[in-house]
Amino acid sequence: MKARLQDLSIVVVGGTTGMGLAAAKALVAEGAKLVVVGRNPESGAKALEELGENARLVTGDATNPSTAEDAVALAVKEFGQLDGLYHVAGGSGRKWGDGPLHELTDEGWQKTIDLNLTTLMNSNRAAVRQMRAQSKGGSILNMGSVLGFSPSPDFFSTHAYASTKAAAIGFTKSCAAYYARDNIRFNLLAPALVETPMAQRAAQDDEILGFIKHKQPLDGGRIGKSSDLDEAAIYFLSPGSAFVTGQVLAVDGGWTHSEGGSKAGGTQSS
């Protein structure tokens, strides 16, 4: 059977750690040729070792427009074109002051927007410009969060973060509508709590884990794994989803359809 992504050229922004690295490994296993983007040179070098000969690295800050532009240019130089983009990069603004609205600082607001929305716009813009120039279409997949449409007031009250993830949905859908004429597809994955470097605060909190057991009841009630998103990423970046655009897929262990077991005054996280 032919690999689902055989010889497709894909850029993964945030592809050197966490969910991005897990996806990058899965994409390579399906035949893709990758450019992965990350901020940390050491993490990037380690990722390249794991990904093998069909991967290249761009080290840079995704809030800088040139980082995504360089990654797209490298994909075209090395692999001849750009077929897909998976934007995973983002993060918590809690340490800068994200939190409930009455506690939210100006810096916390702006840093969170830059991390989760400006980076996404930068990568999507660079990718769509290249795909339009090629006149061959392509697939753009963005990373959102269930917090963009299914809040958790007791444990995850970072209102700037939730705002950016809601905005990512609107951005993805509006781009999907506009660029369908160019055969460029835009879709978004919305995970619930997944054990990544960003989620360590929550993953090590017994009260939150007790909440998650009921809020994410699938598979025995557990925190998500990065690999839980891999098959969805492969689908949206593959020709198998050629007739699909503007969709939001919650990979959430049942979060969206569960009451959970929260109680007021719980530990907040992001």
**Would you call 132 exposed, middle or buried from its count of C-beta atoms within 10 A (0-12, 13-18, 19+)?**
middle
Confidence tier at 11 by pLDDT (50, 70, 90):
very high
- Please state the pTM of the whole predicted model: 0.94
Give domain 9-257's CATH architecture. Answer: 3-Layer(aba) Sandwich (3.40)
How far is it, in rounded angstroms, from Cα 188 to Cα 20?
14
How many C-beta atoms lie closer than 10 Å to residue 25's C-beta? 20
DSSP state of 96: G
Chain segment 162-180, per-residue pLDDT in tens: 999 999 999 999 999 999 9
DSSP string, 170-206: HHHHHHHHHHGGGTEEEEEEEE-SB-SGGGHHHHT-H
What three-state secondary structure class fits 219?
helix
Nearest to 143 by CA among 50, 229, 261, 31: 229
Q: Express each pLDDT in 178-196 by its tens digit.
A: 999 999 999 999 999 998 7
Helix, strand or coil, per DSSP, at residue 92: coil
Q: How far apart are CA 114 and CA 121, in angstroms?
A: 10
Which residue in 198, 200, 201, 171 sits closest to 186, CA to CA? 171
